[in-house]
Copies of this chain bind each other. A is one copy, B any other.
Amino acid sequence: MENFAFYSPTYFVFGKEEENKTGKYVRRFGGSKVLIHYGGGSIVRSGLLDRVKASLKEEGIEYVELGGVKPNPRSGLVYEGIDLCRKEQVDFVLAVGGGSTIDSAKAIAAGVVYEGDFWDYYQGKDITKALPIGTILTISAAGSEGSPDSVITNENGMYKRGASGEALRPAFSILNPALTQTLSTFQIACGITDIMAHLFERYFTTTQEVEVTDRMIEGLLLAMIHEAPRVIQNHDNYQAQANIMWAGMMAHNDSCGVGRTQDWASHDIEHELSALYDCAHGAGLAVVFPAWMTYNMKHDMNRFAQLAVRVWGCQMDFAHPENTAKAGIAALKQFFKSIGMPSNFTELGAKEEDIEKMAHTACYGDVRKGTFGGFVKLNENDVANIYRLML
Contact = CB atoms under 8 A, between A and B. Distances in A.
Interface of A: 1-16, 18, 177, 208-220, 222-223, 226-227, 239-240, 242-244, 246-247, 250, 255, 258-259
A101 to B, nearest CB: 22
Of the candidates A216, A226, A240, the one having the most CB atoms from chain B within 10 angstroms of its own CB is: A216
Nearest to A217: B219
B227 A223 contact: no
A208 to B, nearest CB: 7
Of the candidates A15, A226, A255, the one having the most CB atoms from chain B within 10 angstroms of its own CB is: A255
A226 B255 contact: no
Contacts of A210: 243
B8 A246 contact: no
Contacts of A3: 14-16, 18
Of the candidates A210, A220, A222, A227, the one having the most CB atoms from chain B within 10 angstroms of its own CB is: A222
Contacts of A255: 250, 255
B211 A227 contact: yes
Contact of A246 (B1, B15, B16): B1
A220 B212 CA distance: 6
13 contacts: A1-B14, A1-B177, A6-B12, A7-B11, A9-B9, A14-B259, A209-B239, A211-B227, A212-B243, A212-B244, A212-B247, A216-B223, A246-B258
A3 to B, nearest CB: 3
A175 to B, nearest CB: 9
Given A211-B227, A258-B246, A7 B12 contact: yes
Contacts of A258: 14, 246
Nearest to A166: B11
B211 A215 contact: no
A246 B5 CA distance: 12
A14 B244 CA distance: 29
A3 B15 CA distance: 4
B1 A12 contact: no
B246 A223 contact: no
Ranked nearest first, the 4 interchain pairs of A and B with the lowest CB-CB distance are: A3-B15, A219-B219, A9-B9, A215-B219
Contacts of A218: 219
Contact of A215 (B12, B15, B222): B222
Contacts of A219: 215-220
A18 B244 CA distance: 35
A242 B258 CA distance: 12
Contacts of A259: 14-15, 242, 246
A258 B239 CA distance: 14
Contacts of A246: 1, 212-213, 258-259
A1 B10 CA distance: 20
A227 to B, nearest CB: 6
Contact of A239 (B177, B208, B220, B243): B208
